[in-house]
Amino acid sequence: MEMNRRGFLHSAALAGTGSMIGLKKYAERSTRISKNGKLNVAILGSGFRGQSHIDLCLRRNDCDVVAIADIDEEMISRSQSLFQKHNSKMPKIYSDSPHAYLELLQKEDIDLTIIASPWRWHSDMAIASMEAGVYTGMEVCGGFSLDECWQLVNCSERTGSHLYFMENVCFRRDILAVLNMVRKSMFGELIHLEGGYQHDLRGVKFNDGKTAYNSGVEFGEMGFSEAKWRTKHSVYRNGDLYPTHGVGPIAQMIDINRGNRFMYLTSISSKSRGLHNYILDHPEGGNSHKNASIKFKLGDKVTTCIKTSNDESVILHHDTNLPRPYSLGFRVQGEKGLWMDVNQSLHIEGKSPSHRWEEASSYLKKYDHPLWVKYEQNAIGAGHGGMDYFLMHSLVEHCKNNEEPPFDVYDAATWLAITPLSEESISLGSHPVSFPDFTRGRWTERKNDFALNDRY
Ligand SMILES: NC(=O)c1ccc[n+]([C@@H]2O[C@H](COP(=O)([O-])OP(=O)(O)OC[C@H]3O[C@@H](n4cnc5c(N)ncnc54)[C@H](O)[C@@H]3O)[C@@H](O)[C@H]2O)c1
């Protein structure tokens, strides 16, 4: 490490922004490799997602996971067993309190933090990490307020620290193939796009032979993993709570914050029945269960329409509390045709039979993205069909070079903002609400180079 940051960290992360000049100097160095030639990585939140990130880091020869902050003994023990599996040096554990991550940032020499905690902690942790001059990877979610989004932007600009928003679906194989096709103008000029998060999350079931939970009926303190914290958002909030798996890939296809931007959205929410019925009908629930009287605020289907400055329309679906198969519901439509993922089909005028769908598979193969062609073998065994390999590779390589991430703090703020904006729109009877321009006008000059080089 080039300098000892502990003095800075003490005052910056724990007590505010007093040492910004020193931290900025640290953040501006051109590469971030530790003395031993590897990145020192810290994991903030080592639940199931954090453990997947630990596993991917430990598979690489350029990362040491040196520290973990978490507050759950079982999750810490599960994480430690990954180090045994990989025969890697055990990390330092910070677990004394929900704020133990601050002590970690103060005491450890970290090059990269990966934040995989519950949503409520993402921005606090990201801001502390950026204040500490550390390259910061932050897991996906929706935001809580526009103020929170601005705080992320302001912190990154003030400190010079990069925020990499870890939207893995941008690396999905079919998504990258379709992006390739979009860039080759196969669909013509794009007109309309759809995506979202459509995943039955009612029962957060888990059974690994050692531990078995079915925490769909029980949640909060009685729940396990995401049921401990995620279900509660359905009690108190009504909006698109998880927009980024849909909007991230769409943003790459229409250059959002790079020549194009989101102008306004309007959201509509349906009635809420799914979670209540689930509790009533479940063998562990029933009419007399204490959760049977809870009134869930989140509409079972939240639909958000966005207008872009380039005159495209975008629809985002949020649908997590009804019985349904998983689908992110992508649709990419232009002057010459469209692709949809739910029926794995496309139609291209002049190529496809008139008025008929064609199976997309031969096109997806033909236009397979060069990154997948080159790195397919490396991605075997990585989470979510391999796309998590590409995400981790991109994060690590951008961190090593201290480079601007493909999904940066402006994208994070814009995508996170969809949640509070959709909540506001719904509360106003689906009134349109405007997106702030988090780039402060720089969207007109920025260029989209996602997935155009070997670091992605
Ligand atoms: N991109 C994806 O495909 C994907 C998939 C799953 C989860 N996620 C995201 O990853 C994040 C974590 O999800 P998960 O499924 O691992 O949940 P989880 O509940 O399994 O893990 C969260 C962990 O954070 C810990 N934690 C809570 N408060 C903390 C604090 N103050 N300091 C340190 N640790 C704390 C918990 O003890 C737990 O171990 C969420 O934001 C979720 O949306 C993303």
Give distance in angstroms: CA of 347 to centre of ligand 1.
Answer: 39
Q: What is the pLDDT of residue 205?
A: 65
Q: Quick one: tokens of 450?
A: 């996602």
Residue finishing a domain among 119, 134, 161: 161
Q: What is the pLDDT of residue 269?
A: 98
Residue nearest to atom 38 of ligand 1 (CA): 47
Q: What is the DSSP letter of 32?
A: -
Bridge partners, residue 339, by sequence: 332, 346
Give distance in angstroms: CA of 365 to centre of ligand 1.
Answer: 34
Convert 396-416 to b/e letters by CB count within 10 Å (16 or more is b): bebbbebbebbbbbbbbbbbb
Same domain, 104 and 211: no
Give distance in angstroms: CA of 67 to centre of ligand 1.
Answer: 16
Give distance in angstroms: CA of 51 to centre of ligand 1.
Answer: 9
Which CATH number goes with the domain that contains 314? 3.30.360.10
Strand ranges (E), 151-301? 163-165, 190-198, 205-207, 212-214, 262-269
What residues flank ligand 1, with Cβ below 6 Å?
44-50, 69-72, 75, 98, 101, 116-119, 121, 139-141, 168, 225-226, 228, 384
At 207, the pLDDT band (50, 70, 90 cuts) reads low
Bridge partners, residue 318, by sequence: 197, 302
Q: Is the pTM of this model over 0.85?
A: yes
Q: Quick one: tokens of 211?
A: 């531990």
Same domain, 325 and 176: yes
Same domain, 130 and 183: no
Residue finishing a domain among 161, 196, 217: 161
pLDDT at 18 over 60: no
Q: Domain for residue 278, yes or no? A: yes
Same domain, 194 and 75: no
Same domain, 125 and 203: no
CA nearest neighbour of 449 among 398, 414, 399: 398
pLDDT at 102 over 90: yes
Pocket test for ligand 1, best of 117, 123, 138, 395 (most atoms within 8 A of CB): 117
Domain that holds residue 91: 6-161
Q: What is the pLDDT of residue 31?
A: 77
- Tell me the per-residue pLDDT of 128-184, one tens digit each, with 9 for 90 and over: 999 999 999 999 998 999 999 999 999 999 999 999 999 999 999 999 999 999 999
The 3-state DSSP class for residue 264 equals strand
Which CATH number goes with the domain that contains 152? 3.40.50.720
Residue finishing a domain among 161, 184, 218: 161
Q: Quick one: tokens of 250?
A: 């769409």
The 3-state DSSP class for residue 169 equals helix
Q: Domain for residue 78, yes or no? A: yes
For the residues of 307-364, what is the DSSP string, one character each? EETTS-EEEEEEE-SSS---B---EEEETTEEEETTTTEEEETTTSPTT--EESHHHH
Sign of CA dihedral 53, 54, 55, 59: positive
Same domain, 157 and 185: no
Q: Domain for residue 245, yes or no? A: yes
Q: Domain for residue 449, yes or no? A: no
Q: How many domains does the chain have?
A: 2
Atom of ligand 1 nearest to the CA of 166: 1
- Tell me the per-residue pLDDT of 168-204, one tens digit each, with 9 for 90 and over: 999 999 999 999 999 999 999 999 999 999 999 998 6
Calpha distance 139→142 (Å, rounded): 10
- Calculate mean pLDDT across residues 403-419: 97
Same domain, 183 and 217: yes
Q: Domain for residue 1, yes or no? A: no
Same domain, 213 and 246: yes
Q: What is the pLDDT of residue 414?
A: 98
Same domain, 130 and 239: no
Q: What is the pLDDT of residue 381?
A: 86
Q: What is the pLDDT of residue 1?
A: 36
Same domain, 338 and 253: yes
Q: What is the pLDDT of residue 214?
A: 62
Q: Quick one: tokens of 421?
A: 């904006």
